[in-house]
Chain A
């Protein structure tokens, strides 16, 4: 395949490789630097800048052009050749650009945010390593490598969540994140193995690309069989599995997506992951890594059957709804945003499920910008609150929104960009969020049209969720930026020096805020279908038709959203309407995050640990007990034989010896040396013989 490449293609491939390699190189350099070295930040930022430029070049070259695919043998195992290569198509170059584009402002922001950290260069080592894994993940061409980088992404996230490893909460969170992701990983691994067994290749292009052999495979008569187009199959090798394994493979993918993209039931790690530095949450746990699950769905899309797509839709919809209800009542600034991320990822999965493939990826891209921005804003706010805490020697939680308020005057720029990002998250017109989210909603309704009435539940729930989104975003913004500074009400003598921060803060947030508006994605602010991104992703799976939904849904969503916004304004700013009851069942359900963590602890964690203990007891007392029993039995037998030896065998010998001795002693008496005795005994013997003779 290599030799057919033209010169430009070769350049593009080299650019891609370099874009992936620069962050790795930066990570290696930073690893060698002293822990506190301030150079590290700029090494990483420079690397990501270069990666960004190269990605843009690659993007320009590949977008809407024929895909590029190069590979070479990585290793051979048995008769199977495992390849390593790069696959550049619209999806991968979009992700490549998106990741590097989001990572760049976060890097710049981090140089200021982590300035006083003890392990400054380590932070950038991890961050660069994350970028490397993520960039590599989106361009690799086969499932083995995909799995590898998939897990490395999780690993770098582990390192960064637990970056402040002296905090107990942080290290518990990163352990939880890694283990929950591992559940997804084994799902993915199983799915890969199943695919390998049916199709005998790991090549993503071959499996899911233009002539996808997965899409051509058939599920018939209880078997999942690969189609033999062009007679590519080799005789004597089995290309089928019982049909159930198709569903197992789907379940594996589902688990993987649920773990990485924080979907129910594996979502609980993401809110806890907020223990990491906020800049990390911004890049990894909001914008890029968590999107990897959706990206995976995009990659393996041809393998899903209609039923499986429905399951995806249900999972996404439920997650979106559940997370949104939880976000309503959380008081931790980052936790609200984390649940909002889960909810939005739910929208993307829902989009995939209802066939809104391109809208889903579109939402992935727009969400990356505004959620990243919201976290950076949160970072600035938390940073300033920490300063207040430190300057005044107080003890309070700097992330608690109940203590904030009125910050719009103190952090004006932060306030403005927060508003932009918030509106994009709600999905109001003129923002990028409007374009992408409405697309998903409209297509969800269209999808449910031809189906049973029950299917309507899904788009309706999604609709309600988007209103809930409006409410929690409004609550967050009003609580943080409007009203009085509640901390000052508690401590009236507070010294305050709050400000937006240096250029490393300002430039990234402003840039990201601009990206949250519509022009970047579409020149028509009201039609998602005119967006270049939507068009580029369109795989034309479903026939397009103009339905009334295109008009009704946006109007409905936005009008009600505005009402909700006003309601929130009335509750939280004017306070002329009483707040909700804080004792009701629904409030507690939401506040306790649906009790899912507690249930998991009881149902999974404790039994597993208990099983471990039980098996160890078994090991010690039963297996080893048996060994000891054998040893003791051997000991008993040994003692018995020793006893036998001493008392029976030796006893017999001693008896013999004693008998001989006593007989000897007895006989010796006859040899006393006195003649009269001899005569006497002779007489006795003769007498005895005589008597003997007479008697017989």
Chain B
């Protein structure tokens, strides 16, 4: 049994157990889910420890350099005159996926622990939860475009129901908005995928293939096929490869999300229950960034280089726009949602720079934001569960009432605003270093983008500290009066056990960034090499 396959499908196994158990055992469901995610975490850590590094394990466009690979023919159809259709079950990871994979399985454990708050229809919730778990892990492992797309679309379904059924007051609106936004991106992705399939042949079998790694090699494109580099085909007056890139980019950019395709995010986050917010912010957004690196950059490198300026510009706009919006929020969760937009802008900026520092910084930022946004949303969930309110102006002086909670909030806030010693600092600093370097290395991004990026760091301090001042410091004063005061108990053991590891990881990654960089480095260098030679 391939370990990666095991990792992907473990949630399904446990899901089946939950499915067959009668409803009167509903209290055990959360423990079963927890067991599934813990096993998953164990496996991913084992893989992390056994992950080989070195120039021969770069991955990216070298199929043989991927690790923990499993490749078996899945759908093979003889289409007569049209040749053979070849879809593989092809999974494998390189440096970029491994760190995200560990982060994902960790966030899943946290999300499960946050699911303690769910009270209704437990069977449905945990089934969908585990299905989602399988899908997101699958996305990070799939190397066959068809398989990738399958997992990618499979995420939507559970998420739609998780938001729509267990969400807040405007949950239906938020769920539909989220679903349609994402679907809008992915239907066009389907077209490009088919186009790529028809353009690329596997040199080994001579059949058309969905193999993403083969798609990265220009030699594998049929002459005259739509996405062939040499053919210069046009779609609607634009170069076909540009269209392909833009379509894929929009699909992933919606997930990231970029301004102006971000408005699903605040609504979805605010309405979603805490565990789903955690998954959304912690993992879903990363799939966008991962997709851009793996697919947009991997398959259309020359277009990515041509449009790097615009990518960077979008990144900068997202950073600033998200930060300014966060400053204007009075709903704590919405504030954090906009801060996510701002922080993910750094990812895009780093990717656009196409420098080793920038891309490593972007991956680091994804990992770091995965842990930190999880922590932030969990913390919002704590207070929302107690009084069902999260308006910043309805609380004051929580520091006296809930000292431990405030301590964790401070850790999360300061880590998020990029205090040195925490992961976000390293990530943002090197993203900016890469951006700044870009002009003299490859001339893609102008210098001022880095300068604008630093302003985002300043604004980050502003909105987080202002929130701290308004909600947590000062004399105690609550909108709900004494009832709230009784309800607002300090953190319990489960919550502390959930938050402490997150804080420790954020700290560990900040002090020892090599935990991520060592694994990522070879792949990043391979990617840079690949982008330069094209």
Contact = CB atoms under 8 A, between A and B. Distances in A.
Given A165-B474, A168-B475, A612 B357 contact: no
Contacts of B469: 171-172, 175
B356 A80 contact: yes
A642 B455 CA distance: 51
B420 A149 contact: yes
Nearest to B513: A75
A204 interface: no
A689 B462 CA distance: 99
B357 A80 contact: yes
A149 B425 CA distance: 12
Interface string B506-531: 00000011100110010011001000
A193 B432 contact: yes
Interface string B257-296: 0011011000000000000000000000000000000000
B425 A148 contact: yes
Interface stretch (B123-131, B308-316, B324-332): B324-332
Contacts, number: 146
B410 to A, nearest CB: 9
B89 interface: no
A616 B436 contact: no
Interface in A25-78: 35, 74-78
Nearest to A74: B514
Contacts of A149: 420
A199 B502 CA distance: 37
B465 A175 contact: yes
Nearest to A200: B437
Contacts of B419: 151-152, 155
Given A245-B447, A624-B263, A162 B517 contact: no
B514 A166 contact: no
A166 to B, nearest CB: 5
A21 to B, nearest CB: 14
A148 B474 CA distance: 29
Interface residues of B, number: 64
Nearest to A166: B475
- Find the residue from A79, A175, A183, A619 having the highest chain B CB count within 10 A: A619
A169 B398 CA distance: 17
A1 interface: no
Interface size class of A (residues with CB under 8 A): 35 or more
A196 B434 CA distance: 11
B24 interface: no
A75 B514 contact: yes
Interface in B445-475: 447, 450-451, 454-455, 457-459, 461-462, 465-466, 468-469, 472-475
A179 B327 contact: no
A185 B456 CA distance: 12
B140 interface: no
Q: Is the interface of A mostly helix, strand, loop or mixed?
A: helix
A75 B427 CA distance: 13
B400 interface: yes
A304 interface: no
B473 A166 contact: yes
A171 B475 CA distance: 11
Interface string B194-206: 0000000000000
A623 B260 contact: yes
A186 B453 CA distance: 10
Contacts of A619: 263, 321, 325
A168 B517 contact: no
Interface in A276-328: none
Interface in A135-176: 144, 147-149, 151-152, 155, 162, 165-168, 170-172, 175
Contact of B420 (A75, A147, A168, A615): A147
Contact of A178 (B361, B455, B465): B465
Interface of A: 35, 74-80, 144, 147-149, 151-152, 155, 162, 165-168, 170-172, 175, 178-179, 182-183, 185-186, 189-190, 193-194, 196-197, 238, 240-241, 245, 608-609, 611-613, 615-616, 619, 623-624, 627, 631
5 contacts: A78-B356, A79-B525, A175-B468, A182-B458, A623-B259
